[in-house]
A and B are shown apart, each in its own frame.
Chain A
Amino acid sequence: MIRMRSLAVVALALCAALATAASASAATITLSGSTSVAPLATKLAKTFVNQPQNKGKVKFVILQGGSDIGITDVSRGRVTLGMSSRDPKPADPGGIVFNKIARDAVCVVTNPSNPIASLSQQQIQDIFSGRIRSWSQVPGASASGPIDLVVRTAASGTQDAFQNIFMGQTLRVAGSATTKSSNGLQAQTIKSDPNAIGYASFHFSHGLFSVPYLGVPCTLRNAKSGQYAGSRNFYLVSRGTATGVAQKFIQFARSAKAQALVSSDWVPLR
């Protein structure tokens, strides 16, 4: 019994020691905002924390919730940095600075058997909002029959991107759309259904037909050159000019080393 008790005491002490070691006077950067930016911010934060000069000195807390939440939070001083996947708007609160860290492109994709030469924003809005429900009403489509919309769940960053780039603030995707929980499931569904149309970051558009938007094909090169209009910017938003650790983090995010990380799934700044 005594042995067991002493074991328990040792275990408790160990736990306590570990807990205090982890929280020992580390500078904390809190982030909140866009779910699209969050994976990139997490990736950058992990690398940042593991840099030798920051080891054990910097901690991150990353909350999600949509670009507007991030912007509001940072303007009120609730978080250190906000994450935004949309550009600054005139209606944004004053005194905040948008620091661009990467770009992202969203392709409209169809089944490979249904290549469409080009779609305009109006056509995309008509299709996804359910105003057009048959492929016969889409010029250039080789599919026939009803249009199957395959989209992402509300919490998806790509959904947020598509909404912002193509649909605007007021239009919404038709309720009859099938919503998939992951990029892979969505891609698979579009691949197996000749009538399907959806959207994806070009990272996930392999094996599907990426519809040129306004005549510009959705490729990494076109997105990098800025010709492809279906791309948006990723920002870290600070209250005033960032200072201290936050400033260092933004500098790191824009550095060549971090941008190399960015280029794996997103469009780097240069």
Chain B
Amino acid sequence: MTREGIAASLPGRRPQRPGSASTENAGGTGFWSDARVERLLGAIACLVLLIILGMIGFVFSKAWPSFADNGLAWFGSGGDVDLQLEDIFNSPSNPAAYVYTLRAWPLLWGTFVVTAGAVLIGIVFALFAAIFIVEFAPRQVNRVLEPVVRLLAAVPSVVYGLIGILVIVPWVGEHLISLERKESVSNVVQLDGASIGVGILILTVMIVPIMIAIVVDALRAVPRGWTEGAAALGANRWRVTWTIAVRTARPAIVAAAVLATARALGEAIMLSMVAGSASFAPNPIDGITFFFEPTRPLASALVENVEGLSVVPFGQTLFAFAAVLLVSSMFLSLAGFTAKQSMRKYGVRP
């Protein structure tokens, strides 16, 4: 139940295809005749497609040596990613002797933990905040709340990163992590405050505004008759919202989650600043310590190592990171699309 759904149901919103009516008065409209405009816009749309295809082709052709050399072990674990990257960086200049050995599991796991954590917490927050805005908030509150939410969505991630590294990370390092906790793991990993916990926290703050905006639009678009009908049957406001509005808006909630996941996956700068920048795979068995352990998501690894792009095998390894990110975000939008489809099938969409 998004805007497009409404737009499609309105008669006359679809642009008329030129050919019948428009060609007749094509001479009258001068240079911008409909036929020409259609071709031009079509070319622009096709350009987008070409750019995406070209990008995928380029990234994969660059990344191929790294995948080919490691095989599926690329995605596995073993050794220290930082040392492996150093070896790749220092490989000899002879192309036959390039070093490619990489076991990227800590980076993949870090990406997954941070993204999943932020999206799961974020979707709950966003849903309840959106319900409040649409159903419960007084008009005066909304007048402030909604612009602020949209403003928050537009804050650049570096700003969040700066706040994180200047305020939150030192605070967590000094007050939340005890010396005993630091010492208990000091042989494996160092806890200095920069951690997946802080990463998830700030990432959640970053993605929640977008999700709120999407879910609010969806809840507003629920046909009035449906909710009023339920209210007439004696259901209270919460019950109406939860059983009718939220259910109707499910595709939008999925869309919000997908969009937020895409943003979280690609977030590099902020996470490289606050998530610890150690190629370590945090272990959930560690209990509370897990949230204080550092990690480095793929996108951050990409940004942090971009200095070495001119070293051929190192550059190819970075492109392999990019390829993995590209594929996962593609699968993500595909998954979001199918999820939306199946809900439409059950008649959730009016």
Which of B188, B305, B310 contacts A65 (CB under 8 A)?
B310
Tell me if B307 and A178 are in contact (CB < 8 A).
no
Interface membership of B204, Cβ < 8 A: no
A188-196, A222-230, A260-268 - the one binding chain B: A188-196
Q: Which one, B58-66, B128-136, B178-186, is touching chain A?
A: B178-186
For residue B129, give the distance in angstroms from its CB to the closest CB of chain A. 32
Answer whether residue B170 sits at the interface, using C-beta atoms and an 8 A cutoff.
Answer: yes
Contact across chains for A155 and B192 when beta carbons are under 8 A apart? no
Complexed CA–CA distance, A206 and B173 (Å): 23
Known: A146-B183, A154-B82, A154-B85. A177 touches B190 (CB 8 A): yes
Asked if A172 is an interface residue, CB under 8 A from chain B, the answer is yes
Tell me whether A146 and B82 are in contact in the complex, defined as CB-CB below 8 angstroms, given that A154-B89, A178-B294, A188-B165 are known contacts. Answer: no
The answer to whether B305 touches A155 (Cβ under 8 A) is yes
A189 and B165 contact, Cβ closer than 8 Å, known pairs A179-B277, A181-B272 = yes
Does B262 belong to the interface (CB within 8 Å)?
no
User: Chain B residues near A146 (CB, 8 Å)?
Assistant: 182-183, 186, 190
- What is the total number of residues of chain A having a CB less than 8 Å from a CB of chain B? 41
Query: Which size bracket describes the interface of B in this complex?
Result: 35 or more
**Are B186 and A133 closer than 8 Å at their CB atoms?**
yes
Evaluate contact between B277 and A178: CB separation under 8 angstroms: yes
Q: Is the C-beta of A134 less than 8 angstroms from some C-beta in chain B?
A: yes
Residues of B within 8 A of A193 (CB): 170, 173, 192-193
Interface: A69 (CB within 8 A):
yes
Residue of B nearest to A3 (CB): B31
Q: Which residue of A lies closest to B311 (CB)?
A: A65
Whether A181 contacts B170 by the Cβ 8 Å rule is: no
From A64, A78, A177, A185, B311 is in contact (CB under 8 Å) with A64
How far in angstroms is the closest Cβ of chain B from A5? 13
What CA separation (Å) do A1 and B165 show in the bound complex?
Answer: 56
CB contact between A195 and one of B82, B192, B314 (< 8 Å): that residue? B192
B89→A155 contact, CB < 8 A: yes
**A150 to B169 Cα, complex, angstroms:** 14
Q: Which residues of A contact B193 (CB under 8 A)?
A: 192-193
Q: B305 and A153: CB pair below 8 A?
A: yes
Establish whether residues A133 and B187, one from each chain, have CB atoms under 8 Å apart when the complex forms: yes
A176 beta carbon closer than 8 Å to chain B: yes
- Do the beta carbons of A181 and B277 come within 8 Å of each other? yes
Q: Looking at the complex, which one of A176, A180, A188 makes contact with B190 (CB distance below 8 Å)?
A: A176
1/0 contact trace for B306-338 toward A, CB 8 Å?
A: 111011001000000000000000000000000
Contact (Cβ within 8 A) B305 A66: no
Contacts of B154 in A (CB 8 A): none
CA distance A72 to B277 in the complex (A): 33
Distance between A51 CB and nearest chain B CB, rounded to angstroms: 25
Given A66-B311, A153-B305, A181-B305, decide whether A176 and B189 contact each other with a Cβ distance below 8 A.
yes
Residues A155 and B311 in contact, CB atoms below 8 Å apart: yes
Q: A88 interface residue, CB < 8 Å from B?
A: no
Contact B183 A192, beta carbon cutoff 8 Å: no
A175 with B83: CB separation less than 8 A: yes
The reply to whether the CB of A114 lies closer than 8 angstroms to some CB of chain B is no
Give chain B residues whose Cβ lies under 8 Å from the Cβ of A196.
192
Candidates B83, B89, B94, B192; contact of A66 at CB < 8 Å: B89
Q: Beyond the given A134-B186, A155-B314, A185-B277, could you list 10 further A-B residue pairs with CB under 8 A, ordered by the A residue number?
A: A35-B308, A64-B310, A73-B93, A130-B187, A144-B179, A147-B190, A153-B85, A178-B194, A181-B304, A192-B165
11 contacts between A and B (CB under 8 A): A35-B307, A65-B89, A69-B92, A130-B187, A155-B305, A155-B308, A155-B314, A172-B86, A177-B82, A193-B192, A195-B182
